[in-house]
Every structure is written in C-alpha cells, then in structure tokens.
Amino acid sequence: MNLFITFDYELFFGDPTGSAEKCILEPTQRLIEIGERTKTRFTFFIDIGYVIQLEKWSSKFENLSLEYKKVVGQIKTLQEKGHDLQLHIHPHWETASYTNNKWSFKLDGHYKLADFNDEEIQQIVSSYKSKLESIIGSKVNGFRAGGWCLQPFNRFVEIFKKAGIKIDSTVFQGGKMSTKHYYFDFTNAPSKGRYRFDDNLCQEVENGSFLELPIGGYRYKPGFFWRLYILGRLMPRRHKMIGDGNFIAQGGKKYESLKKPIWDHVSCDGYYSSKLNLITSKFSKEGRSDLVIIGHPKSMTRYSFEQLEKYIRIQQKKNSFLTLSAE
C-alpha cells in the first residue's frame, strides 16, 4: 500500500491564531528531523495566503518582516530536503488585518472558496499558486482546500484546469460537516484509495480530469476521546499541542465525541497518532491501494512526534511512503 503523510502548514484561525514560532517553525523543524532520520519525505500543503499577508504587512511591522523571512526560509529548506510542497488555500486571508500584534479576519462569508464570486476565486487561485511557485522555483499541481471546503466543485473545474491543478487531496471519506463557516459532505465519496473525477469531488469518472487522493476516514469511539481528555490533564507536557492558538468552533463536535462514535479523518496529530498502525493494517487488509494521513505542525505533540517516527519505521518494512509529486 502507498502511504502519504501530509501536513497543512498554517496558523490557527480562532482567537488567537498563535505564533509562527510555535504553530509552524518549531514543529516543522521537528518533522524535518524525523524525515532525515527515517529517510522519509512528506507532503506539505502551504497556506500561502498567510505568506502573502506576511509580506504585505512586513513593511509596517518589523516583527512580520522577520517572520516572513523565517517562514519563506523554512519553505525553501523543506524543498531542499526533498519534501513535496503543494497549494493550500484558506481564502479568508483576503480579509486579514494586523493590529495590536495579532491577526484579525472576517470569517463570516469568507472562509470557503465558494463564499467568493467566480472572478474572485480565479484571482485567488491564480495569485496564490503563482506566489508559492515563485518561492520554490517550480510548478505546483496539487491542492487541498482549507477546512475541506471545496463544494460544489463544478464552480472550480475550469479555474483549476486553467491553473494546472491536477491532483486534489481535500476529500476525507465519509466526512460531513455543516456549520456557520464549514460545509462539506463526502458521505458518497468512493471507498477507494484513489479515483479520478470531473465536476463532482465524490463521483468517480473513468479518465476524469483530476485525480483524488482522499484522506482516510475512521470511526473513533468515545473511549478514545476520553483517554485523550484524561491524558491531557495527567501529562500535559506530553500531550499538549505545540501550537499556541485556538481552533474555529466546529459546532459542538468536541462534546459529541465524548458521547458517541464519530467519523473523522486519519491523522498523525496528537493522540490520533496512536491509531495509525491499527488503521493502516485495516486498510491494507481491505486491499486499499493508498492511505493519505493528514497532520498539522501546529497540532503535533511530543507524543505524536514519537508515535509518527515509530509508525514510519514499522511501516517502511511493509509499505511505500510517497508524496503527491510522485504521482
């Protein structure tokens, strides 16, 4: 089976967003070190809207100028080390302002690409992709939508074709959410490691224009989240996220998970990493061709760094680790 370890390289979007040092730079450096020790390469989906805003505001704020240099420097280091860099768009960065040493956004009506009109979407996709390519000096053809929000996809087909985007990894099979800011429904997505599609993310089309590499989905029981809750209080240094920001509210999902099983993505973040070998074995027995694992540098913990490295060393003996650019 092909295994893809992917990371969304970004800040938080609640209040506060967290610092670049704790959410991005420090945890990503640890991932670079794991990659070097295990000779494994990861795919990083770069939230390039953040980088664009850093550059825009750096002329007014010396700290943002330094932050921009550090972030761009790390992106270039990732490429030099052989990691795969692809496009990640959180379009609410279009509304960003920086005052009193913090970022502010207008999330309402701006969190999803679908919240914008067609002309605005074209401009965002084109300019964000061009900025990432100018930093890394090579073409980008892979994409992951911020918040998994990329529906209805028929609005994006021609824009993506024009931009040269050929591979998507937004879908997580079986996932569904509808809140004030989020909307996605992948309950009808093919139960496959990969498939091709055209104007519907969840409808397989033979010889379709785009390749979907969906993030794995898994049903987590309440006991899993109770253990996480308890461990976080008994051993906070080991189980607390490296990132120092807050998530956007997700409609009571946190509390629901303590009461009944929930379907969620396969992830190497925090305590989710404890399930990676079990889930990989399950998918392998089902004959799946691929498993995409999602992670976020900001959401990694001391525990998950350890578990990720152990997972890689175990799975290297059985499966292949790939990046999107290898497709």
> What DSSP line would sit under 161-219, residue for residue?
HHHT--EE---BTT-EEESSS-EEE-TTS-SSS-EEESS-TTS--TT-SEEE-PBPEEE
Angle at 242 between CA 238 and CA 247, to 5 degrees: 115
Residue-wise pLDDT tens digits, 217-241: 999 999 998 888 888 889 988 999 9
255 burial type by CB count under 10 A (0-12 exposed, 13-18 middle, 19+ buried): exposed
3-state secondary structure 272-304: HHHHHHHHHHHHHHCCCCEEEEEECHHHCCHHH
- Separation in Å, CA 96 to CA 48, 93, 132, 292: 13, 5, 19, 31
Give the H or E element holding residue 255: helix 253-256
Q: In this structure, are residues 186 and 174 in contact, taking their beta carbons and an 8 Å threshold? A: yes
Residue-wise pLDDT tens digits, 103-125: 999 999 999 999 999 999 999 99
Angle at 180 between CA 176 and CA 186, to 5 degrees: 15
Residues forming beta bridges with residue 176, ordered by sequence position: 185
pLDDT score for 251: 60
Q: Where are the domains of the chain?
A: 2-326
pLDDT score for 252: 58
139 burial type by CB count under 10 A (0-12 exposed, 13-18 middle, 19+ buried): exposed
pLDDT score for 254: 66
- Separation in Å, CA 247 to CA 18, 193, 285: 10, 29, 35
Q: In this structure, are residues 152 and 112 in contact, taking their beta carbons and an 8 Å threshold? A: no
In whole angstroms, give the CA distance from residue 44 to residue 143: 10
In whole angstroms, give the CA distance from residue 239 to residue 159: 41
Q: What is the mean pLDDT of each run of 10 residues along the chain (327 residues)?
A: 98 95 98 98 98 96 97 98 98 96 94 97 98 97 97 97 98 93 96 97 97 97 89 90 89 73 95 98 96 98 98 97 90
In whole angstroms, give the CA distance from residue 29 to residue 307: 16
Residues forming beta bridges with residue 167, ordered by sequence position: 142, 211
CATH class of the region 2-326? alpha beta
Grouping H, G, I as helix, E, B as strand and the rest as coil, residue 21 is helix
Query: Scanning the structure block, which residue is given the tokens 């998994």?
Result: 148
Residue-wise pLDDT tens digits, 275-288: 999 999 999 999 99
pLDDT score for 256: 80
- Separation in Å, CA 24 to CA 218, 238, 323: 26, 18, 20
pLDDT score for 258: 81
The helix, strand and coil proportions of the chain, stated in percent and rounded to the nearest 5, come to 45, 20, 35
Close Cβ partners of 254 (under 8 Å, ≥ 6 residues apart): none
